[in-house]
Amino acid sequence: MKCEKCGRLLTHLDVNFFDHEGADYEQQLPFNEYDTDAVEVEVTQNWTGYDLSEEEMAETIYCPHCRQFPFKNPEIQTFDFTRVVMFKQSTAREDREGSSLDEYRYGGDTVFRPGDYIVYRNGSRYEIGRIKSLRPDGAFVAYHSGETGAKTPYDLMRPLVNGYVLEKTTLGGDYFKEGRP
Ligand SMILES: [Zn+2]
């Protein structure tokens, strides 16, 4: 596709957007061409032309070469659409972060296993947690009654050797019921 104002080849369009502070900046957007001579770019609500008049919208889209609106026809149509994002179980953070280990050896005789209680050094304080799963670079540890684990580096945690006496903790919620892990 060529710019209808300067005749040069277009590989993208420059489009104006607001950044998080409300200042505007240009983004290079790829476009789709349709058989109907329509050309489409996908923008978000941060597009500076959003909710403006058609004429003003055209002032936010430029040919990168001549800096003009690249079409002779000034007509612009906008369509709102809704993107639905769903999550498969396997995209949970713990599952995304590499493969689980059955145990992790830290130093000489320190071994961490899923289900173990640990003490985590959080600055000048210590917290008791229970290991949900192990990764090469840290463990997911339950520190509260929710099922979510917090990634914890091995060098900040130590085994709590008498953790078995903690019969009544709610750490990890239902995660440790039903024989898991
Ligand atoms: Zn141009």
pLDDT per position as a tens digit, 16-55? 999 888 889 999 999 999 888 899 999 988 999 998 999 9
Q: How far is the CA of 14 from the centre of ligand 1 (A)?
A: 11
CA-wise closest residue to 8 among 59, 67, 83: 67
How far is the centre of ligand 1, averaged over its atoms, from the C-alpha of 66 (Å)? Answer: 4
Between residues 96 and 118, the one the model is more confident about: 118
pLDDT at 159: 92
H-helix or E-strand spanning residue 39: strand 39-40
What pLDDT score does 179 carry? 58
**51 Cα: distance to centroid of ligand 1 (angstroms):** 25
- CA nearest neighbour of 8 among 62, 59, 74, 57: 62
- Can you tell me the distance from the alpha carbon of 152 to that of 123, in angstroms, rounded to the nearest whole number? 13
**Mean pLDDT, the chain, integer:** 87
Q: How far is the CA of 52 from the centre of ligand 1 (A)?
A: 23
Q: Is the dihedral of CA 164, 169, 171, 175 positive or negative?
A: positive
Q: Determine the distance separating the centroid of ligand 1 and the alpha carbon of 30, expressed in angstroms.
A: 15
The residue type of 174 is D
Distance 71 CA to ligand 1 centre (A): 9
For residue 145, what pLDDT is reported? Answer: 73
Confidence grade of residue 3 (pLDDT, cut at 50, 70, 90): very high
Q: Are 75 and 67 contacting, i.e. CB atoms less than 8 angstroms apart? A: no
- Which of these, 74, 40, 72, 83, lies nearest to 54 by C-alpha position? 74
Please spell the DSSP secondary structure of 92-154, one letter per residue. SHHHHSS--BS-EEETTTEEE-TT-EEEEEETTEEEEEEEEEEETTEEEEE-SSSSPPEEE-G
Q: Domains for the chain: give ranges and CATH numbers.
A: 1-81 (no CATH), 93-176 (2.30.30.140)
The pLDDT value given to residue 152: 92
Distance between Cα 31 and ligand 1 center (Å) = 15
Question: How many Å lie between the centroid of ligand 1 and the Cα of residue 158?
Answer: 64
| pLDDT interval class at 75 (50, 70, 90) | very high
